[in-house]
C-alpha cells in the first residue's frame, strides 16, 4: 500500500489520488482521538503563561512520530490574547523516552 501511495499520480485511480499522503510528509489534519488528547496533555504539563487547547492533529512517521497539533492559545498574563498556534510533539519509539514538545509556532 505504501508503494502505491508513493507511485506516480497518473498510475493511480482518482479515489487513490484523494487519499495519497506524501511519503515522509504529514497526514491531513483530523479530529483528535482520546489518545491524541492524552499525549498532548502529557507533553504540555507544567507549561505556564499560555494555555493551549488542541483542535486537530496530523501525524508524521519518523524514528517515532511527530504530532502536529493546531491549537487555540490563550495567554494567562495581563492583556489577555487569543490566537492560533501549531505545536509539534515528538513521540519517540517505545522504550526511547517520553513525548516532548519539539516546536511551538504562532499562526
Q: C-alpha cell of 29?
A: 489534519
Q: Which CATH number belongs to the domain containing residue 72 in this structure?
A: 3.10.450.10
Q: Is the pTM of this model over 0.85?
A: no
Q: Domain tally for the chain?
A: 1
Whether 9 is in a domain gets the answer no
Whether 12 is in a domain gets the answer no
Whether 10 is in a domain gets the answer no
Residues 91, 96, 97, 102, CA torsion sign: negative
Whether 8 is in a domain gets the answer no
**Structural domain boundaries enclosing 94:** 26-106
pLDDT at 77: 79
pLDDT at 22: 58
Q: How many CB atoms lie within 10 A of CB 8?
A: 6
Q: What is the mean pLDDT of residues 27-56?
A: 96
Q: Give the confidence band of 78 by pLDDT, cuts at 50, 70, 90.
A: confident
Q: What is the mean pLDDT of residues 7-13?
A: 47
Share of the chain above pLDDT 70, in %: 79
pLDDT at 100: 96
Whether 16 is in a domain gets the answer no
Amino acid at each position: 500500500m505504501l508503494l502505491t501511495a508513493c507511485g506516480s499520480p497518473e498510475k493511480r485511480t482518482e479515489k487513490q489520488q484523494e487519499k495519497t499522503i506524501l511519503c515522509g510528509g504529514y497526514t491531513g489534519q483530523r479530529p483528535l482521538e482520546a489518545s491524541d488528547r492524552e499525549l498532548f496533555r502529557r507533553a504540555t504539563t507544567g507549561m505556564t503563561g499560555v494555555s493551549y487547547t488542541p483542535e486537530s492533529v496530523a501525524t508524521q512517521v519518523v524514528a517515532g512520530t511527530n504530532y502536529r497539533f493546531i491549537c487555540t492559545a490563550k495567554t494567562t498574563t495581563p492583556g489577555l490574547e487569543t490566537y492560533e498556534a501549531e505545536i509539534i510533539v515528538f513521540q519517540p519509539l517505545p522504550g526511547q523516552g517520553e513525548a516532548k514538545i519539539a516546536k511551538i509556532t504562532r499562526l
